[in-house]
Structure 1
Amino acid sequence: MNHHTSRRLILKGLVASAIVIGFDVCERSWVTSASATSIFESLPALDGVVYTDNATLTAASVDFGNIVHRQPIAVLKPGSINDIVQIIQFARRHQIKVAARGQGHSTYGQPQVEAGIVIEMSTLNKIHFVGTDRVVVDAGVVWSRLLQQTLQQGLTPPVLTDYLELSVGGTLSVGGIGGATHRYGVQVDNVLELEVVTGTGQIETCSQWQNRHLFTAVLAGLGQCGIIVKATIKLIPAATNTRVFQLYYDDLATFTHDQRLVINDERFDYVEGQMIAKDTGGWRYLLEAASFYSPPNIPNKSLLLAGLTYTQGTEQIEDKTYFDFLNRLAPTVAFLKSIGVWSYPHPWLNLFVPNSAVETLVSEVAANLTLADTGQGPILLYPVKTKRFQLPLFRVPKGEIVFLFALLRTADPPNSSTVTKMLNDNRKLFEKNRDLGGYQYPVNAISFSFQDWKQHFRPFWRYLISAKRRYDPDNVLTPGQGIF
């Protein structure tokens, strides 16, 4: 491809069937897929490329969940932020929907858009600046690369998700939870500034001190008010090593008691937990905790384990480098990809359970849950402190502590009946948790109605409505979430 062509667009393989995709307000006529070629030819010069070939469109209609498939009419791989401005203004004129796609790790079609335009953010992947307390990055940068870059200067983001091959823009749109959340909140709580393209096609800079209304509407805002294109993220000093403690429990109440204890006194830098299936049936519980350190200072095992009542003789302790610990899922993911399981449907469910209800809910689930119900996917269970959460649209139950309870299901066998059963189970468990005062962490494969969303965001529903009207008045952005 020559340089001139790459600055314009590629239009090939556009389906000739007359699917209505929008309304051209300039020509006062409905736009169909059959007439879309001429419309796209009216785009101004771009630094990136617009694709309409079947292979690219099909790829944009599949995500990690591999359950929902909505095919766009075009995919933009932007060469600059201005390309996103241009494509949103274009889509707004023609009343075509737009969605940003990071790494496509969603589970229920959230970044997809039927007969609309998908913006592949992965081509905006520059790390602009690493300072003594912050890093400035494009939204398409993945966290593993960001971390490798900051570690060269002995620095790290305070909170990282378990899987590091997610994009900055993607996790900031939902929250970004991890093992250090009990200390530092979620990733959105560690953002200093954003550059956003709104649904009106305007570039805005926002922070707690500048354009705060937009800042709080975009972080954990599920892409409804703007597309994050650049972020300034807080950095803290990084250790070089990690001592990892895996402590096993046979009793749920003892397990959750110790989890609460270690997040309250913050003896560990990192705390998570899992339900692990026993060979003999039933479940045991794993408290995974880590202490970050740099020699010659080393963690004091006796102090770290003081007062914990795990099953003696089952504990496992090992040392890793800081990066290898945080990137520990990479070998597992590589294996799952090599055997094809990574492409199976993933009907995931992530819930925030009230502290007062966690033992009751989890014990009820554990009594009937089998490995077949999760496809041998992991089950996470760990507490976080709500006082660390500063953003209004990141919704959790009331109380000082809440638990993340996540069934990261894989549909195995990968057929429709398995998927349907898992989706139905997700909905039932969501409703049970909701009735206890719980919330979903909205990265799930779960059917969600307008009323569900209204309940989810209250008492900030009116706030979100007003922000949507202000920053995306024509409802162009991110229809896959199904909120509006």
Structure 2
Amino acid sequence: MEQQISVEGVNIIQDYGSISSATTDFGNLVTGKTLGIIQPRSIEELSLAIQFAKDNHLRLKARGKGYTQSGQSVAQDGFTLDLTQINHICEVDTESQTITSEAGTKWQDIVATTVTHGMLPCVLPLNLEQTVGGLLSTGGIGSTSKTYGPVVANVVDLNIITGNGEYIQCSRTQNRELYNAVLGGLGRCGIIVSTTLALRTIKKYIRTFHLLYDSLDAWMNDQVLLGKSNQIDHLEGFCWTSAKGIRNTISGKRFFAHWLYGLQVGVEYNSTAPYPSDVLKDLNYWQLVHTEDEETVNHVFRYQPRFEMMRASGAWNQTHPWIECFISAKALAEILPEILDMLPLSLGDGHKAIMVASENLPDLFMMPPEDNILCFAILPMAVATGDTKSLDVLEEVNQVLLDAGGKRYLSGWLGRLDFNWQQHYSKHYDTWETMKQKYDPDHILS
């Protein structure tokens, strides 16, 4: 039975069943200790919760659906601040092509609201079950990122409650330093209360060409070419295993695989579908293996079957040491064969590479300074609990990516050792520290 305590207008849930659901995240690799769950149902209650924590020298860990993988949304000797009930959606502004929403709203509800006006957010994550605020605190990557960048590059404004308890509206032109500190900031300086997101006009249908490559260089060159093309709307890259076997190595016999590469190239249309000869004419793929036509609104839910299969198979409850890293196409092409050779075949294939435009980024959202940036992602269905060998390899892969100039996407598994924040933020590290001291000097927000 749910046990609630009301303290100064703040509802604190402390029954074991509720608390146990917040002691870990989707990664299932970090276990925390939450003292209780504070679940505000309005902005006023959220303000009271932060003031309550400040007055009593308590720590709060903001949490949406808990889809991080390294404990970023897990409280350690503090209270979990569950924001899922602050989820009101305002009307779509068709003139400015924006939508305003509270932070606990799920992306699938944003889609349902905007699509009735023939629009969608400029970028959508692959998992639409996430909350708006949770995603904005990490970044957000999708198949339209090659044009629009990460989700955080498409935020018009934000309403924030800081660790000081101040309610502040910010944008690129108003209180910009807080805007930059909060987007991709893991809830470290302030809690996103609501936001206005830029929308794009969509066409009714999308045709997706599924291309197969037997050459890494051709695959990478075509991604760069398509990343700059105004002719296509969606782009995703994949790494797939083909022939498999066992070979002798210095340390004994070992499984190996031959890798192929894929692209999914999507073009939206209203009545006349694009011809392959028009869209693919300058590309150097090996085979066009499939062409898919569907309504654009259905396309955005294309990964839902994967999540349903994970739940049905039990993979959802295992560990997910996902690694996502921003890296230049040139650097990834050089190290990808080494990485694929390192990865145990038990982690599966389907590793992704998505082109990401790097304009209009918040100042503290870190990407390499080079051109032609990809988000390279290793997203196994699941890793068995206690599989330390796979974790060892993934930590080595992480280091290979960082040594090649990569910058980690911060929602993923960040390793078993303390993450090197100074290396991540580089010349922006002092600003990162200063923002924390300015907006949350008592370290209320962990």
* TM-score, length of structure 1 as denominator length: 0.86
Per-residue CA shift, 1:212-263, capped at 9, x if unaligned?
A: 1211111111211101010111112121111011100011111101111111
* Mapped contact 1:426–1:446 kept (Cα < 8 A): no
1:464 Cα shift?
A: 1.1
Residues 449 and 65 of structure 1, relative CA distance in 2, 3 Å threshold: closer
1:377 Cα shift?
A: 5.8
Aligned to 1:293: 269
Quick one: distance in 2 between partners of 1:99 and 1:377?
34
User: Is 1:409 aligned with 2:380?
Assistant: yes
Residues 263 and 428 of structure 1, relative CA distance in 2, 3 Å threshold: same
Give the alignment of 1:199-278 within 5 angstroms. 199-278=163-242
1:273 Cα shift?
A: 0.6
Give the alignment of 1:50-449 within 5 angstroms. 50-132=12-94, 133-280=97-244, 281-295=257-271, 297-312=272-287, 314-372=288-346, 374=347, 376=348, 378-386=350-358, 388-412=359-383, 414-416=384-386, 418=387, 420-447=388-415
Structure 1 vs Structure 2 CA RMSD: 1.8
1:449 Cα shift?
A: 6.0
One-letter code aligned to 2:203: A
One-letter code aligned to 1:347: P
Per-residue CA shift, 1:112-158, capped at 9, x if unaligned?
A: 11221111111111102211111010111111110111000111111
Quick one: distance in 2 between partners of 1:307 and 1:77?
54
Identical aligned residues as a percent: 31
Quick one: distance in 2 between partners of 1:120 and 1:290?
37
* Mapped contact 1:423–1:446 kept (Cα < 8 A): no
Quick one: distance in 1 between partners of 2:168 and 2:349?
40
1:423 Cα shift?
A: 2.7
1:332 Cα shift?
A: 2.0
Q: Specify every segment of 5 or more residues in structure 1 that has no aligned partner in the other structure, as ranges.
A: 12-40, 479-484
Per-residue CA shift, 1:183-208, capped at 9, x if unaligned?
A: 11111111111111101122111112
Residue-pair matches, total: 432
Quick one: distance in 1 between partners of 2:53 and 2:267?
49
Quick one: distance in 1 between partners of 2:184 and 2:304?
26
* Mapped contact 1:377–1:410 kept (Cα < 8 A): no
SS in 1 for 2:390: helix
One-letter code aligned to 1:138: E
Per-residue CA shift, 1:356-377, capped at 9, x if unaligned?
A: 21112101112343421x1x26
1:389 Cα shift?
A: 4.0
Quick one: distance in 1 between partners of 2:321 and 2:415?
11
1:422 Cα shift?
A: 2.8
1:451 Cα shift?
A: 7.0
SS in 2 for 1:385: coil
One-letter code aligned to 1:315: V
One-letter code aligned to 1:467: M
Quick one: distance in 2 between partners of 1:97 and 1:378?
39
1:465 alignment partner, one of 433, 436, 445: 433
Q: Give the helix-richer structure, 1 or 2.
A: 1
Quick one: distance in 2 between partners of 1:402 and 1:226?
29
One-letter code aligned to 1:206: C
* Mapped contact 2:220–2:329 kept (Cα < 8 A): no
1:57 Cα shift?
A: 0.8
One-letter code aligned to 2:363: P
Quick one: distance in 2 between partners of 1:425 and 1:97?
34
Aligned to 1:452: 420
Quick one: distance in 1 between partners of 2:325 and 2:360?
16
Aligned to 2:4: 10
* Mapped contact 2:318–2:385 kept (Cα < 8 A): no
Quick one: distance in 2 between partners of 1:473 and 1:339?
45
One-letter code aligned to 1:350: E
One-letter code aligned to 1:442: L
Quick one: distance in 1 between partners of 2:319 and 2:233?
33
* Mapped contact 2:54–2:444 kept (Cα < 8 A): yes
Per-residue CA shift, 1:343-399, capped at 9, x if unaligned?
A: 111011111223321112101112343421x1x26311233232x242111111121
Q: Specify every segment of 5 or more residues in structure 2 that has no aligned partner in the other structure, as ranges.
A: 245-256
Per-residue CA shift, 1:63-100, capped at 9, x if unaligned?
A: 11111110211101211112111111111222221111
* Mapped contact 1:350–1:441 kept (Cα < 8 A): yes
One-letter code aligned to 1:381: A
1:209 Cα shift?
A: 2.0
* TM-score, length of structure 2 as denominator length: 0.93
Residues 354 and 104 of structure 1, relative CA distance in 2, 3 Å threshold: same
* Mapped contact 1:186–1:389 kept (Cα < 8 A): no
